[in-house]
Structure formats: structure tokens, C-alpha cells
Chain A
Amino acid sequence: MNAQTHIKEAGSKTREMSYAEAIRDAMAIALERDPTVVLMGEDIGTYGGAFQVTGDLVDRFGKDRVMDTPISELGGAGVAVGAALTGLKPIYEFQFSDFAALAMEQIVNQAAKLRYMLGGEAAVPVVFRMPSGSGTGAAAQHSQSFEAWFGHVPGLKVVQPSTPAEAKGMLLAALEDPDPVIVFEHKLLYKMKGEVPEGYYTTPIGKAAVVRVGKDVTIVASAIMVHRALEAASKLAAEGIEAEVIDLRTVRPLDRETIIASVKKTGKLLCVYEGVRTLGVGAEISALVAESEAFDYLDAPIQRLGGAEAPIPYNPDLERAAVPQSPDIESVARKLAKGEV
């Protein structure tokens, strides 16, 4: 359903592909179009990437443009920053977003701030790709959702595509952007299939998408949570509750207009996000609504569903319990719609 939006945007022929294939397609197009684009990361060459996202790109474009890096996240990210500063357009893949913790110095202190510190005299057009999120049984150091960390840093843009079409369009938009962009790719989405426009197109950064129209309650979600929210919304529709689902797409900068317009219509807001609930993305969305003209339209307290106040656990039942699931969304949205909150 989400992909349908993009077909209209791109207005071109489409092909069914997975989220991982769509990202690969974007990278192949970028490598073909622009000789300054290089891919960097651990095991992205012959191995094809930890999640097979780069796949066969090394065979098609060679080792100089699809570069395996040593296991040196800080250094590798920094090399990408320095390359971007001097004329290349690197896409640096972290094997897991968790490993970006090793590279915070280069992302936060250098990439995000160089343009500002140098008074606009420098640009760092680097893209960091980060496989993210829980649900794979990989436990606490391979399952985190760091959107809020990076979303807190001026100078960065942070996107979370939720469909194959979005993943391709947002990666190409990230590459066009003259500033550093962090792309969170949800690992559970890599195999998800969808219709993807062929050829070059971009999905704008900073624009959310209303992926289901409704009048009773607004659910703002991102990445895998969009799909869980849509599932919940279908169930609620059978009961006569029409939920409006917004695919956030971009964590920084937030699309205030789309969120505020929806809340003004429904009077009820539920934020759903996988990152730890406290001080998470939903806290910011709640605050921006509370501070806006939409506040007067609220008929119920704003609700948030976020990750548990715990590391992601190994046990599969615990792991599921640690992040919002479709029934959780359904339950809270129902209560909100019925005025039971």
C-alpha cells in the first residue's frame, strides 16, 4: 500500500523487489551515474554485506568502488568523512547500527559539525547506512534502534524508510543531499517485497507520508512499526474505528505539518517507535504536537508506545515483548478512539 504512493510519485514502470534489492538498485544506479560515488564497509565486497545488501556490486563495479574496509568503524567512518570533504560521495555501511557507537566521534563531532564549524566553507556529503532494529535473535548489541541518538544532532539528517520503494528513493535522496545523512534500514524489512519504480527517482527527506487515511486516531510510526500500525488499523477498521497511519520516514528534520494536520483532524495521537520509549522519537513528536495549534484539537492525552527500558533480550518471547507489536498498537489505538484513555 505504501509502495503505491511511490508509484504515483515516480510515475514510471515498476518492478517487484525486496527492500534489500531496492537499496542495491539505488546504489547501482548511483555508481553508474556518478563516478565520485564509492561504497565502503566491512565485508561489502565478495561477501556481499552482512545482510547481502551490496550483493554482487563488487563484481559489477570493482574493488575500487566497492571497498571492503578493515574492522575499523571509527577509522572507516572517518575515512568516509574525509573523502566526502574532499570530493567523493561515500556510502559507508555499518554491519549493524550498534557498531556506529564505535564511530560516534567521526559522525557526531566531525561529519555533523564540519560545515558549521568552518562557517559554510566545507561540505560533508556522506551517507551512513545502518541496519537496525530487533527481531532477529541477535540480542543486546546487534538489535538497537539509535534514531533518537542521531536525531539529536544538528547537522545530521536521519531517515527510516519503511518500504522497498522508499528505501531506494530515500537512499538516492540522501546521496543528492549536500550534508551527512544517516539511513536506518530495519533488518526485518530486508526481505519484504514491494513494487519499486525503475530507474532514478528520489523520495524527499523531511516529508512524512499518510499511508492510511482515517478520522478517529492518528498513529505516527516509522520503519517496521508502520507495517505493525497498518495491521492494527485493518483490525480496528473491522470494528468501525478508522485510524490514520503516518509513515514518518524522516526523524530529522521532522515533518511537523503532516503530523499537526492529521492530529487536528483526528484529535488523538499515538506515537509508535522501536527505540527506547524514554527520550525517544515519540517524545519529540508528542512535544511538537503539544506545543502546536493541534493542542486545542486534542480530545485525549497523547500516547506513546516505545521500546522497553531494557537492552534487547535474547529469548524470543522477551525480545517480542521488548518492542511494540501489532496487538499493542491495536489495543492503545482502540482505547484512544473510544475515549478510554
Chain B
Amino acid sequence: MARDAQENLPFAIRHFSPEALKEALRKMHLIRLFEEGAEESYMRGLIHGTMHLSIGQEASAVATCMELTDADKITSTHRGHGHCIAKGADVGRMFAEFFGKETGYCHGRGGSMHIADVKTGNLGANGIVGGGLPIAVGAGLTAKRLGRDDVTVCFFGDGANNEGAFHEALNMASIWKLPVIFVCENNKYGMSTAAAYATAVPNISDRAAAYSMPGVTVDGNDFSAVAEALHIAIARARAGEGPSLVENLTYRWRGHSKSDRNRYRTKDEIEDWMSRDPIQRFRAELIAHGVLDEAGAEAVEAAAKDAVAQGIEFAKAGPAPAITDVTKFVHAEAAA
């Protein structure tokens, strides 16, 4: 391929191997199918409580985590299933957690809102908007203090950018030049309240200027655009140059949670975003650039479907926690 043609290719196609790109597509399908499976399981009474689905935001989760290793950390949000899968979690143990089983990632104590997988560097979803922001800065501090080169990606939503914790966290990450990448998934609404109403700046990335760090807004449904922004931010963090703020503009197709009646947005708006499905867009891009063909893409999706079906069976088969263990895990068990 001529050099000019090479440069015109999307970043992701230039930068990642075909295997890595196929795996990214698989993870995006896996997130979508996992959440559809969770939704169906909820309808069938296999899951209680509530959950916050990220259907429509898959490119943001997967592209953000493309260059992260298990040593790198993420902090996640109440809408964190995608982040968890993108970081490498097993959907069987995730379903088991949602089903409240001892075999779940949190032994049935956390559920959807606290899903975590510490071994792959996922420090956990969070039920408190903005809760993960200072924690991510703390993870960055650990890396710097111990001389490690791992970075921490802090996912948060547009709602969290108006929490005090956001401002305190960005300020500290900046003054101490910590290896943290703040990734705002701006899906336009904090529950029902529009970001455009609740936020005093047009772009959340504008707030980076107040903390002397680079801030960029990208199309969060464009896999390649997100991956490129993260590539730059991660390189900066690993080089010891400090934090960055990346804003991924995206949209959740479903309501905020299971109780949402969608009174604050129009059918047209939802359908408009659904017509720009990040998974189909990425899939088409991979096919257009010859990374795989239709049959290959079908096979990737089928593999994800199988994983979800097997995951649900694994979850169903797992044991429930013992009722007598209600206080287990409050503290470390005393050494024997």
C-alpha cells in the first residue's frame, strides 16, 4: 500500500493488528449481547434490583481499553458492564454476579452496580456518581510512588462532571502529574437532566483547561476516533507528563435504569442515534478495509452469542451464598 493511502486509513486500522480489531468487534458484540441477555434475564425474574444498560455506547468502552494491559487500572461507573467486558472480564462470572451467586465476581455481594474484576485491573463499577474519580487518582498516585508504568483510566458520565469530586480529582491529578486518563462518556443525560442544561460549558472537555491538562471531545461512537484519543492520552500518561481528559460523545439507547419512562427525550432522537449504531459502524469499517468479510463478521458475532448463552448457563448453575455468610467480607478474615 502506498504511503499516502496508508496515512488516509483510520487510526485503528493503521495501528492495531487484524486480530486485535476482530477481538474488539467480538467484545463490542459481547457487551451488546450480554446486556440484552441481562435485560431478558431481568424480565424473567432471574435478576432483581435494577441495572443501567450501556447499549449504544460499546465503541467508547472497547476503544478506550484497547491499549490497556491487566496491570493498567480502570474505575468504572453505575453504567459499567461494557467497561468490565472491555477490560477482559468473563461474562459467565458477570452473569453469576447479576444472579446473586457465590460464583459471581463479587460473590453475589455487589451486583450490577459494583461489578469488578480486580485481577484484570477493573477496580469496580460504582453506585455513587463521581465516586470513582478520586479513587482513580489514588491508583495513579500508587503507580507513580511505586515507580510502575501502569496507567489508570477513569470512566465517568456527563452527570459526574458537575460533582465536586470531579474537580478535586482533576486538580490533584494535574498538580501531581499522575498517569490518569479521565474518560467522560457523555451520553447527553444524567438520568433525565440534559448535560446541555446542567453544565455551564459547551463541552465537558473544556473543563480540562481549568486543570492544565489536554482535553478533547470525540465522536464516542467512532471506534477509531476514541482509540486515537486514548492512544495519545495513554502515551502522555506513561511518559510521566500527567493526566488528560477525553470526552466521548455517545448515547444510551435504553433508559437510565429499569424505571425510566423516557419522558425527557423524543422518539426521533432515540431513533436517530440508533441509526448510528457503533457496532455496525465498526463492523462495516473492518469489512471495508478488508480486516474480515461478512462471513468472518458473522462468525465473530456468533462466538459472542455462544459466550453469552454459556455464561447464562454458568450463572444459573452456580450456588447462592450461604445466608449465614451475610457478614462475610465486611472485614478481612482473621489469619488462621
Contact = CB atoms under 8 A, between A and B. Distances in A.
B165 A88 contact: no
Interface residues of A, number: 41
A78 B134 contact: yes
A199 interface: no
B107 interface: yes
Contacts of A106: 131, 134-135
Interface stretch (A25-33, A113-121, A289-297): A113-121
A231 interface: no
A7 to B, nearest CB: 27
Contact of A117 (B124, B138, B167, B333): B124
Q: Which of B114, B128, B131, B145 has the most CB of A within 10 A?
A: B145
Contact of A74 (B118, B168, B328, B333): B168
A329 B102 CA distance: 51
A11 interface: no
A119 B124 contact: no
Interface string B109-135: 110001010100001101110010111
Contact of B145 (A38, A74, A81, A122): A38
Contacts of A4: none
Interface size range on B against A = 35 or more
Contact of A85 (B135, B168, B169, B332): B135
A117 B140 CA distance: 22
A80 interface: yes
Nearest to A155: B330
Contact of B169 (A75, A84, A88, A178): A75
A74 B105 contact: no
B139 A119 contact: no
B107 A86 contact: no
A105 B163 CA distance: 12
A83 B123 contact: no
A90 B139 CA distance: 12
A118 B124 contact: yes
A78 B165 contact: yes
Interface in A81-116: 81-88, 90, 105-106, 109-110, 114-116
A77 interface: yes
A117 B171 contact: no
Interface string B134-152: 1111111111011000000
A209 interface: no
Contacts of A109: 127-128, 131
A282 B283 CA distance: 65
A84 to B, nearest CB: 7
Given A106-B134, A109-B128, A122-B124, A70 B171 contact: yes
Nearest to A115: B329
A121 B118 contact: yes
Given A75-B137, A178-B332, A119 B172 contact: no
A268 to B, nearest CB: 33
A75 B328 CA distance: 29
B79 interface: no
B29 interface: no
B17 to A, nearest CB: 30
A340 interface: no
Contacts of B136: 82
B329 A116 contact: yes
Contacts of B134: 74-79, 81-82, 106
Contacts of B128: 105, 109-110
B138 A80 contact: yes
B142 A88 contact: yes
B82 interface: no
B164 interface: yes
Contacts of A70: 168, 171-172, 175
5 contacts: A70-B172, A78-B134, A78-B165, A83-B145, A85-B135
Interface of B: 73, 75, 104-110, 114, 116, 118, 123-124, 126-128, 131, 133-143, 145-146, 164-165, 167-169, 171-172, 175, 327-333
